[in-house]
Amino acid sequence: MNIQRILGFSTRYLYLYKRSLPRLMEIFYWPVIDLLLWGFVGIYLKKHQGTGPDIIAFFLGALILWDILFRSQQGISISFLEDIWSRNLLNIFTSPISQTEYIVTLLLMSVIKLILASTVMVLLAWLFYTFNIFTFGLALIPLAANLIIMGWSIGIITTAIILRYGQQAEVLAWGIAFLFQPVSAVFYPVDVLPGFLKTVAWFVPASHVFEGMRTVLDGNPLPLDQVFIAALLNCAYIMVAILFFNWNFKAVKRKGLLVKNGE
Amino acid sequence: MKKRVLEVENLTKKFGKFTAVDSVSFEMYEGEILGLMGPNGAGKTTTLHMLLDLTTATSGTVKLFELGYKDARVEILSRVNFSSSYISLPSTLTVIENLTVMARVYGIGGAKRRKEIIDELMRLFEITELAKHSTRGLSSGQLTRVCLVKALLNRPEILFLDEPTASLDPDIADKTRRLLKSIRDERKISILYSSHNMAEMEEICDRLIFINRGKIVATGTAEELLKEYNEKSLEEVFLKITRSSGSDNKKAETGRA
Ligand SMILES: Nc1ncnc2c1ncn2[C@@H]1O[C@H](COP(=O)(O)OP(=O)(O)OP(=O)(O)O)[C@@H](O)[C@H]1O
Ligand SMILES: [Mg+2]
């Protein structure tokens, strides 16, 4: 792996966001809208509910953390689509950049994008609803890291599918994360799920993260067992994702489809 | 004896049951402009893509600078480059931004050096005034020239060009060919050039390989081919070969790559 090539290729995205206001706005648009919406819903519910756990914190914490997962996935899939749309894949793969370096560049971009989006969300949550995400303290780090890695796994798998099946699979880039939302227990505990989905949820790293988040918001210490299970699952999934990508990349080269993307 | 830079042996590509490239063998030497010609669907693009490791060969071997992709992918790809009338560059970036990114990907260090290299090539291809234009707004001829500049950034020893002049007007196409020739003379670069414009092939290529239905059916200098087929122009040789052996036009129309 060559850092110079990765950094060199990353400048392409920096130029892109510098040039394209709509793309730049896209990083912030949904997070801000979501935050406003759920913040107000929280305020409204709180008025009627009186005492009890801080419902605004539940919503906003969930939202900010969910957005980390979503951005991390999108950062990869959308950046890849940019290269398909601009018929750039052939330039990339006839250059010395390897498929690993390419993917690492996408991961890097996803982190940069999500840091930008999260920063804005955290600031707005604090300004509008006096919700301070840092009340999570150090717990925030393992929670966020797990979500980022889960997002990467989904993003890499999505990318592999788009590479193989072309633009008809593009819709995945936008929608696939939401497939996991119901079983990620983002806004409600895993308990409310019916039996079968509970089992499914156990295998979704995000469900452990959001259970952990609620435990912390209730004033308890971070449940390390949950974090640990999430981390183990994530290790397994990211490896599966990388194997899946490599396997597809090989198949795509064999079928001569690498060169057909974007046509 | 001239240095051999490319050696292709029994290169074959099957897509399912269909054989797109059929046991192709040839060599290319330093400073040579080698033409790959043949009708639509003959297998030119597929061959080029296998030489660049974009498409995996079903069988056969490819050696560039005596190296294979399996062991020396980065080295090989640092020493070659590619352009085609089918590629493009990110449209939201300006021309200079795109070229800068690619220069960095090819490991050309130092902002000043990058700028010198890019400026010189843009001057050669007469696109200096496009530097700050967004790539989206370029005409296809301008884009082709930008892609050619990209293809020369790393001072490649082998340049693979797939129908590079397909979208250029005759004047610019002619200038581009001359330019490529002079770059070849100056830098001893080898060029593998695909096209079905016979006049252009006759003009620019030192040697020609004619493929039809995935097979090499004739090879030699333009004069040799004219003599062998007893014709006055390559165009007539082309027609003679494709009509006698039958071409694959029908399939090619749907499977254009
Ligand atoms: N990925 C693919 N899957 C299946 N068949 C393919 C694929 N790519 C190319 N082919 C087929 O292989 C044959 C050779 O195609 P190729 O693109 O190499 O021809 P070409 O000589 O470059 O033609 P043209 O002059 O039209 O560019 C065609 O019949 C084409 O349909
Ligand atoms: Mg072709």
Q: Tell me: the pLDDT tens digits for B144-174? A: 999 999 999 999 999 999 999 888 888 889 9
Q: What percent of chain B has pLDDT over 70?
A: 95
CATH number of the structural domain spanning residue B14: 3.40.50.300
Residues of chain A with pLDDT under 70: 50-53, 261-263
pLDDT surpassing 60 at residue B257: no
Q: What is the pLDDT of residue A53?
A: 66
Residues B66 and B166 in one domain: yes
- Residues B174, B241, single domain; the answer is yes
d(CA A239, CA A241): 5
Decide if A31 contacts A74 (C-beta within 8 A). no
Closest-CA residue to B204 (of B45, B36, B30, B27): B36
Mean pLDDT of B247-255: 48
Record: contact B91-A4, CB cut-off 8 A? no
How high does pLDDT run on average in chain A?
A: 88
Q: Do B88 and A86 touch (CB under 8 A)?
A: yes
For B233-243, what is the mean pLDDT?
85
pLDDT, one tens digit per residue, over B177-208 is 999 999 999 999 999 999 988 888 988 999 99
- Nearest Cα to Cα of residue B26 among B164, B194, B236, B157: B194
Q: Which residue, of B116, B134, B155, is where some domain finishes?
A: B155
- Token pair in block for residue B128: 């200096």
pLDDT of residue B61: 97
Phi-psi label, residue A207: left if phi above 0, alpha if psi -120 to 50, beta otherwise: alpha
Same domain? For B124 and B199 the reply is no
> So what's the pLDDT on residue A39?
82
Q: Is the domain of B58 the same as that of B101?
A: no
Residues in contact with ligand 1 (CB, 6 Å cut-off): A 255-257, 260; B 15, 20, 38, 40-46, 196, 248, 251-252, 255-257
Query: Cα–chain-centroid distance for residue B108?
Result: 22
Pairing of strands B33-37, B190-195: parallel
Total number of domains constituting chain B:
2
> Cα(A8)–Cα(A91) distance, rounded to whole angstroms?
14
Query: Exposure pattern of B216-243 as b/e (b: 16+ CB <10 Å)?
Result: bebbeebeebbeebebeebeebbbebbe
Choose the closest CB to A15 out of B86, B101, B109: B101
B70, B171: one domain: yes
**Which pLDDT does position B250 carry in this prediction?**
46
Average of per-residue pLDDT values in chain B: 91
Q: Which pLDDT score is estimated for A51? A: 63
Q: What is the pLDDT of residues B81-117, one digit of tens each?
A: 999 988 889 888 999 999 999 999 999 988 999 999 9
My answer on whether B137 and B250 are in the same domain is no
A125 vs B187: CA distance, rounded Å = 60
Domain boundaries, chain A: 24-262
Distance between Cα A247 and ligand 2 center (Å): 27
Q: Identify the contact set of chain B against chain A, taking CB-CB distances under 8 A.
A: 13, 15, 20, 45-46, 49, 52-56, 73-74, 77-78, 80-82, 84, 86-94, 97-98, 100-107, 109, 134, 150, 160, 257
The pLDDT of residue B256: 41
Residues facing residue B61 across a β-bridge: B9
Rounded (10°) CA dihedral B151, B155, B160, B164:
40
Q: Is the pLDDT of residue B3 over 80?
A: yes
pLDDT average, residue stretch B132-146: 92
Whether residue B248 has pLDDT greater than 60 = no
Q: Are residues B111 and B236 in the same domain?
A: no
Quick one: which of A98, A110, A144 has its CA closest to A245? A98
How much is the pLDDT for B118? 97
Tokens representing A91 are 């330039």
Do B66 and B182 fall within a single domain?
A: yes
- Same structural domain, B17 and B64: yes
Q: Are residues B242 and B230 in the same domain?
A: yes
What's B94's DSSP letter? B
Share of chain B above pLDDT 90, in %: 72
Same domain, B125 and B212: no
pLDDT digits (tens, 9 = 90+) for B37-47: 999 999 999 99
Taking only the tens place, the pLDDT of each residue in A55-100 is 788 888 898 899 899 989 988 988 888 888 888 889 999 999 999 9
Name the residue at shortest CA distance from atom 10 of ligand 1. B255
Among residues B155, B185, B205, the one where a domain terminates is B155
Whether the per-residue pLDDT at B252 is higher than 50: the answer is no
Count other Cβ atoms within 10 Å, centred on residue A113: 21
Cα–Cα dist B136/B144, whole Å: 13
Provide the residue range defining the domain that includes B19. 4-79+156-254
Distance in angstroms (rounded) separating the CA atoms of residues A155 and A173: 8
How many alpha carbons fall within 13 Å on the CB side of residue B220? 12
B186 and B107 within one domain? no
- Give the contacts of B135 (CB within 8 A, at least 6 positions apart): B88, B89, B90, B91, B92, B93, B94, B95, B98, B143, B146
Structural contact between residues A66 and A184, judged by C-beta atoms closer than 8 angstroms = yes
Of B126, B155, B184, the one marking the end of a domain is: B155
Rounded to a whole number of angstroms, the distance from the CA of B179 to the nearest CA of chain A is 22
Interior CA angle at B174 toward B173 and B180, to 5°? 85
